[in-house]
Amino acid sequence: MEVVLSTGFFGCDLPESDDAATQDRAIQEFVTAMCREGARHLSVDLIRPRGGLEGRYHGAARTDAIDGKVARAAFYSVDEAFLVEIPGFSYAYGADEETYLPHLGPGGDVVVDQRRDRLVGDFSFPDANLWGDFRAERCAPDSDAMSLLDPTPSHLCP
């Protein structure tokens, strides 16, 4: 299961509409949340060979030698951004300075608890100086947000 934690707020799905302008606006707002200056995103892959979703996941770079619940993570942040605007058309943020740490895991851990349709917990990846608490909406793997984020948030920020 993939968990995406972000400083930007976005829902699981884009609004349902046959109007292309409405869909374009929704995608533009999503990309703005992902790429604005100061945006921070942590993508955590929770691997659980058996048992439920809840519990402690131990950080690891590789999963083939570990038994039990494992967390692998990647961090992306937009440290400096610039606004690109096409008059009368649209706008977007481009990342001028960014940080991408693709292989977090060893020495870290993630604790997950499920409360109704939300996941709550905390994470710690000391080697990258990242830690915090989270409350996240649970999205279906084929939701619009998860499809746009595949494979990584960094491809959204030109």
pLDDT digits (tens, 9 = 90+) for 63-120: 555 668 889 888 999 999 988 877 766 777 888 899 989 888 888 999 999 888 789 9
- Angle at the Cα of 69 (from 64 to 74), degrees rounded to 5? 75
What does 51-118 look like in DSSP terms, one character per residue? S-S-EEEEE-S-STT--S-EEEEEEEEEEEEEEEEETTTEEEEEEEEEEEEEEE-TT-EEEEEEETTE
Q: How many domains does the chain have?
A: 1
Distances (CA, A) of 111 to 36, 41, 100: 28, 17, 23
- 1 contacts: CB under 8 Å, gap ≥ 6: 45, 46, 48, 53
Q: 135: domain range?
A: 2-156
Region 111-135: mean pLDDT is: 91
pLDDT-wise least confident of 104-118, 120-134, 136-150: 136-150
